[in-house]
Amino acid sequence: MASAGLQFFAFMLALFGAFGDIAATLLPNWKVNADVGSNIITAITQMQGLWMDCTWYSTGMFSCTLKYSVLSLPVYIQAARTTMVLSCILSAFGICITTVGMKCTKLGGDTDSKSHTCFAGGVCFVLAGIFGLVPTSWYTREIISNFLDQTIPESSKHEPGGAVYIGFISAGFLLIAGVIFCTSCFKKQQGAWIYPPKQQHFPSTQQENNAGYNLKDYV
Of 159, 166, 48, the closest CA to residue 56 belongs to 48
Quote the pTM value: 0.77
**195 band by pLDDT with thresholds 50, 70 and 90:** very low
* 21-62: pLDDT as tens digits: 999 999 999 999 866 555 555 567 888 899 998 888 777 788
Stretch (H or E) spanning 31: strand 31-35
3-class SS of residue 195: coil
26 vs 211, higher pLDDT: 26
**215 band by pLDDT with thresholds 50, 70 and 90:** very low
Which of 7-21, 44-58, 107-121, 144-158 comes out lowest in average pLDDT? 107-121
Given this model, what pLDDT does residue 30 score?
93
6 vs 217, higher pLDDT: 6
3-class DSSP string for 107-140: CCCCHHHHHHHHHHHHHHHHHHHHHHHHHHHHHH
